[in-house]
Structure 1
């Protein structure tokens, strides 16, 4: 079976991803070439700039499926959202305006601001989990606040959250700092799976195959298989176990 991509922005014209159908079809072809067979389509929702309501995403995904079939592109796609944590999130959940990674509404792909973990996050996470939903925190390795203080993420893992790491972060596309922090997260067991977070922008391409091959070499074939199995479990709404430890602090060398 090919890879499962739980996070991409290839629906046309609805967020900062693909601007049009032609680009979307090109991205879908690129996904297949990278070994991806299944893709969860996750346009931004409630991030302060984009609002993509559940019913709209369902309609857009249905249209995109038809275009994929017409163009003989063998990518199986599913409707989802990358949901930004915000003050209206609980209301959106209760009003059935959220799309999850699975049909049983078990896993939510949850995004933080790129440089912050809001002060109300732990309280809201508790309320989300109390509704039977497990947040999957997307690209924590690119969050400045988490890079500077990894305990911010560890408290959320203690609460029951999972994480999704961007494949491109691991292979170095976002620079050395992000790559090194990603490797530390993986070594500490604080990652669960990879996803592409593909956009139609430079440095936002599919690199799942590269990431899994790199992981096989650096952490072993079993770890790479675990990440792939976790992606399958999430999209099927099945349990995912996470065994992690606190991230090791970098040694500091003092000069006298």
Structure 2
């Protein structure tokens, strides 16, 4: 399996703190059957800034260490970009990084409580510039949970989305789990990734997540999600079906 979203690089965000933490995470991932991990540290989220050069250097150092330790996992470069108004202006500079530096997919994070008003236009402008935005963990965004039509419109306009494994397995609560399954059922989710930060409370839980998908749907749905991760890191087009609207009433008290 390929994990397209993790915080395995040491000491640069709220993920692994030390190289020993990174190695422990890699060993856990290997036990899950993961062979490649996209390192996607936070960028421009108000707490951390990790530019392209920093990430590429750190990925190289970690890969060297993994080889020395005999851990058969490859780390690929990525970046979890918090959406900001000047993002389009920065895409041709040395600040932003696409998944595996292929120039095709970019992980985009929204604030946990809402979607900025400019989100639709910015994600559209990314596509005009040849980059497909991948919205990370939309199932944990309060506004999207209360109004799934916001996500539907973004997906309909060409964006993709990635669920968190722990959301799918129910470790983040039954409401988030049900909503995650709703998103898959309505063709509003295209990837599942660990978003691993450590080996304890935010671990690699990708195998369990894929098994949950298979139980809820079928093997072909699981295969599609796993295959999409492979296509993403190669800079190829992923599989997707026509998105469907989720009909539901707004509700409060989610968290």
TM-score normalised by L of structure 2: 0.94
Question: In structure 2, what is the equivalent of residue 94 of structure 1?
Answer: 92
User: 1: CA distance between counterparts of 2:228 and 2:144?
Assistant: 23
Residue in structure 1 matched with residue 248 of structure 2 by the alignment: 249
Is the 8 Å Cα contact of residues 103 and 236 (structure 1) preserved in structure 2?
no
Flag structure 1 segments of 5+ consecutive residues without an equivalent.
Answer: none
| Equivalent of 1:76 in 59, 74, 77 | 74
Would you say 1:168 and 2:166 are equivalent positions?
Answer: yes
Aligned length: 250
Q: Counterparts of 1:64 and 1:97 in 2: how far apart (Å)?
A: 20
Query: Where in structure 2 are the equivalents of 1:171-190 lying within 5 Å?
Result: 171-190=169-188
Q: 1:214 to 1:92 in 2, by over 3 A?
A: same
Q: Could you tell me how far apart the structure 2 residues matched to 1:55 and 1:104 are?
A: 15
Structure 1 residue 182, shift from structure 2 partner: 0.6
Q: In the alignment, what sits opposite 2:230?
A: 232
Q: Equivalents in 2 of 1:22, 1:179: separation in Å?
A: 32
Match of 1:85 in 2: 83
Deviations 1:206-234 (A, max 9, x none): 11101111211220001100101111111
Structure 2, gaps ≥5 residues long: none
Pairwise CA distance, 1:91? 2.4
| CA deviation vs aligned residue, 1:84-111 (integer Å, no higher than 9, x gap) | 1012312221213211114430100111
Query: Counterpart of 2:227 in 1: which secondary structure?
Result: helix
- 1:178-215: CA deviation from partner (whole Å, max 9, x where unpaired): 11111111111111111000002743111110111121
C-alpha distance in 2 between matches for 1:241 and 1:71: 36
Please tell me whether residue 147 in structure 1 is matched to residue 159 in structure 2: no
Over 3 Å counting, the alpha-carbon distance change for 1:61 and 1:102 in structure 2 is closer
